[in-house]
Amino acid sequence: MIYLDYAATTPMLDVSIEAYGIAAKEVYGNTSSLHDAGGKAAFLLEKSRDAIAEKLGVNRDGVIFTGGGTEGNILAILSLARAGQGKHVITSSAEHTSVHAAMNTLEREGYEITRLPLTEQGTIDVDLLEKTVRPDTVLISIQHVNSEIGSIQPVAEIAKVAQKYNIPYHVDCVQSFCKLDIKSFSKHVDAITVSAHKIGGPKGCGAVYLNPRRRILPLFPGVTHERGLRGGTVDTPAIFAFATSVEHYKYDINKFWKLRYQLKEAIQKTNCYFIESDEAHQLPSIYGLCMKGAEGQYVMLRLNEEGICISTGSACDINSKSGTKAILAMGRSLSEARTFFRISFGMDTTEEEIEQLGNALIKIDQEIKNMK
C-alpha cells in the first residue's frame, strides 16, 4: 500500500508511540490529585505544555489541551465571539468543517457571519477583508493553510487588520503546525488551533492557544481543568506523545517541492491539472488536482484499487455531495469541484511511490479517454 493522504492523518512516530506507552504505564495519576502520583502527572503535563508553547512562540498560560483540531476550533471561536460586544464575525468560505459548524451555531444565536471568497490563487483578499470590518465585528477566523489545496493565507497581513481595529483573530494552524514558521505571527494573533495526529502524534489530542489578555467566555462554565476552559481529566499519555511528536517531527520542504515537480512532470500529458497558488503561498506537500471527465471519487477509488490511498478532500467532508469548499470559494463551478481529488505527502513518501502514482494516474486518464 502507498499512503498519500497525510493531510487527513499521519502514522504515529515510533518515539511518540513509545512515549505514550511509558506515560500510560508509569504516569497514570490524575493531574489534579494532590498526592505524588498526581504531582508526577502534573509535572509531565506542564512540561508538555511548555513544549507546545515554545514551538508556537506563545505564552504557556494560554495553551489549553483539547481533544483535537475540531474541538479546538469550536472552543476558540465560540469562546471569543460570545465574549465580544457585537454580533458580526468574519471568516472564509473555505475553512475546515469545524469552523463552519461554529459559525452556524453563532448564526442561530443571532450573529451575522461574513464568509469571504478566495481569489483565483486560493488566498484571501486582505483589502476585501478590511472593507468587511464593522464596528460590531467581534472576531476574525481565517486559517493558515487550506487542507484541500494547500494554499497559505496571508496571516501576518490579516493580523495587522485585526490589530488595527482591535478585533480578536483566530487562526486554524492544524495543517501548518511544525511545517511552517508560526512564530512569525503567533504573538500578533489571539487564538491558534493545532492537532497532534497531523504530525505523527495520537488521534484525539490537540491544543488551542487563547491569548490570556483577551476576555473569554468559557464554553463549559464551572469546569476546573485547563484554566476552566476545557473540562475532564486530561489525557496525559496522549499529551506527552503529542509533545514528543512536536520535538521529533521533521518537515523537509525542499524534498516536498522536488516530489511535487516530479509528479507534475509525470502527468503533464494527461487531463489532470493542479488547483494551486503561487509558490510563495503554497504548501508543497498538499496537492489539489482535477481530472477532466472523471469524478474525483472515481479517481480515488481507482487509485485505491492500485494500492494507493488518496482522498477527495478533507476527511471531515467525506459525505459532502457539493465538492470541495476551496474550489467553490475560488469561484470554480460545481461540476469542476466534483472532479477534485487531493494527494498529500508525508515524511516517508519516496520518489518511487510518486513514480507509481504518476503511472497510475496516466493509466486512469487513458481509461477515461477510451470511454469517450
Please check the confidence at residue 36 and state whether its pLDDT lies above 90.
no
Please check the confidence at residue 321 and state whether its pLDDT lies above 60.
no
Name the burial class of residue 290, with classes exposed (0-12), middle (13-18) and buried (19+) by CB atoms within 10 angstroms of its CB.
buried
Q: Is there a single domain that holds both residue 54 and residue 93? A: yes
What local confidence, expressed as pLDDT, does residue 5 receive? 97
Tens of pLDDT along 85-97?
999 999 999 999 9
Q: Are 121 and 329 in contact (CB under 8 A)?
A: no
What average pLDDT is seen over the chain?
A: 93
Q: What is the mean pLDDT of residues 9-38?
A: 92
Give the integer Cα–Cα distance in Å for 105 and 112: 11
* End residue of a domain, out of 215, 248, 281: 248
What local confidence, expressed as pLDDT, does residue 165 receive? 97
Tens of pLDDT along 178-197?
999 999 999 999 999 999 99
Q: Is there a single domain that holds both residue 164 and residue 261? A: no
Q: Which residues on adjacent β-strands are paired with residue 207?
A: 65, 194
Question: How does residue 313 score in pLDDT terms, banded at 50, 70 and 90?
Answer: low
- % of residues, the chain, pLDDT over 90: 86
Please check the confidence at residue 322 and state whether its pLDDT lies above 80.
no
Instruction: Based on the residue annotation, tell me whether 316 is a catalytic residue of this protein.
Output: yes
Q: What is the mean pLDDT of residues 219-243?
A: 86
Q: What is the mean pLDDT of residues 321-336?
A: 84
Q: Is there a single domain that holds both residue 242 and residue 260? A: no
Please check the confidence at residue 319 and state whether its pLDDT lies above 70.
no
Question: How does residue 314 score in pLDDT terms, banded at 50, 70 and 90?
Answer: low
Beta strand pairing call for 88-92 and 137-141: parallel
Q: Is there a single domain that holds both residue 233 and residue 322? A: no
Please check the confidence at residue 128 and state whether its pLDDT lies above 80.
yes
Q: Is there a single domain that holds both residue 257 and residue 233? A: no
Beta strand pairing call for 272-275 and 286-291: antiparallel
Query: Where in the sequence is the domain holding 260, given as residue range(s)?
Result: 2-9+251-371
Catalytic residue among 178, 205, 290, 316: 316
Q: Is there a single domain that holds both residue 112 and residue 224? A: yes
Q: Which of 65, 73, 70, 66 has the alpha carbon at shortest distance from 89?
A: 73
Q: Are 335 and 292 in contact (CB under 8 A)?
A: no
Query: Domains in the chain: how many in total?
Result: 2
What local confidence, expressed as pLDDT, does residue 227 receive? 78
CATH of the domain at 111: 3.40.640.10
Q: Is there a single domain that holds both residue 257 and residue 311? A: yes
Residue type, 322: S
Please check the confidence at residue 259 and state whether its pLDDT lies above 80.
yes
What local confidence, expressed as pLDDT, does residue 233 receive? 84
Q: Is there a single domain that holds both residue 220 and residue 106? A: yes
Tens of pLDDT along 113-127?
999 999 999 999 999
* End residue of a domain, out of 248, 265, 295: 248
What local confidence, expressed as pLDDT, does residue 110 receive? 97
Q: Is there a single domain that holds both residue 308 and residue 327? A: yes
